[in-house]
Amino acid sequence: MILNQLIDFDVLRVIWWVLLGVLLTGFALTDGFDMGVGALLPFVGRNDVERRVAINTIGPVWEGNQVWFILGGGAIFAAWPPLYSASFSGFYLAMFAVLAAFILRPVGFKYRSKRDSATWRNCWDWALFVGGAVPALIFGVAMGNVLQGVPFRFDDDLRIFYEGTFFGLLNPFALLAGVVSLMMLVTHGAAWLNLKTEGAVRDRARAIGSITSLITIVAYILAGVWLAKGIVGYQVTLPAVADGPSNPLYKDAVQAGSWLSAYAVRPWIAVAPVVGILGGLLTFLGLRAGREVSTLLFSKLSIIGVVSSVGLTMFPFILPSTIDPRSSLTVWDSSSSHQTLFVMLVAAVIFVPIILAYTSWVYKVLWGKVTEADVKANSESVY
């Protein structure tokens, strides 16, 4: 009763939907440039010193940045259990590939400089490339499949059955979404190197980032057109009670129309794709002009716009089902209990500001450029 008086169940559900978006966006903003630098590593560094310069820009911060990935996964597990179950069942092999790539990253950082061998270090540099490029691509592919719907269903006992295949996830639209994600994070990595390095590494990062920023914009617009013309959206015909029990089968839903019909109902959400495209253009101009801090901020703005446009377009759907639209998960019928969401919110209010404060302090302490002179003077360092 006290909990009901503090925050209503339907409000808590929306709050946690927003928080999930914030956590996933935070992961893209922070660990995104780590993955981007990893994907750029073989191309911005022509020799060992240059590659060590790039690695040292992210070496001290990448572990802290992954906190957002852990928080996002934890939030899905605790706040949206059916979403966690359905998505990990359907994307199991894809998630395994992401985790395998992420495992290569710390191993690459720690083992790369253990031997003074060009062959040894080159192999670990490509491992770091895989650790950056593969997750960036797969996250986008996953998002493309979420927009199309996933082949799962619930039976009357709320057991989840996934009826798709791994290769079914590699469809053209999902791969296009993967290109958007990969190019967006490579651009973010280039903006980071533009800020943190100088000389040849910075110049190459700017040149590559200028190209990938334009590819991101074009691919994002193409995906939007495809979404409007070639992807069937989802609609709730018998809405679930917003403050009722979490049972997806209490509603009715159908595949009909277009996802973009949401912009006619909620015109204000158009700000998200506009911000995504405008941020990308400003990132391109910033890289060409050699601006540093503002370029990284514009890159972050573009990521916020692109990621939030997906959630705002799909609301209230979180994970649609292609074989049984009624089983689709929405904000109103796939959350944990009222008490669980409230207790988690209290924990989030306490600990997220602490994480933000600590992260801000770390970046303040580590502010400044990594130069070739620094790397040569510390030849025995971990990175």
pLDDT at 213: 97
Q: Which tens digits make up the pLDDT trace of 119-148?
A: 999 999 999 999 999 999 999 999 999 999
> How do the domains of the chain map onto residue ranges?
8-377
pLDDT at 61: 86
Residue 193 has pLDDT above 60, yes or no: yes
pLDDT at 3: 54
Tell me if the pTM is above 0.85: yes
pLDDT confidence band for 115 (50 / 70 / 90): confident
Q: Which tens digits make up the pLDDT trace of 44-89?
A: 998 989 999 999 999 888 888 888 888 888 889 999 999 988 888 7
In this prediction, residues 106-118 reach a mean pLDDT of 86
pLDDT confidence band for 223 (50 / 70 / 90): very high
Residue 277 has pLDDT above 70, yes or no: yes
DSSP 210-279: HHHHHHHHHHHHHHHHHHHHT---EEEEEPPPTTS-S-GGGSEEEE-S-GGGHHHH-GGGGHHHHHHHHH
Query: What does the alpha-carbon distance between residue 37 and residue 231 come to, in Å, rounded to a whole number?
Result: 33
pLDDT confidence band for 359 (50 / 70 / 90): confident
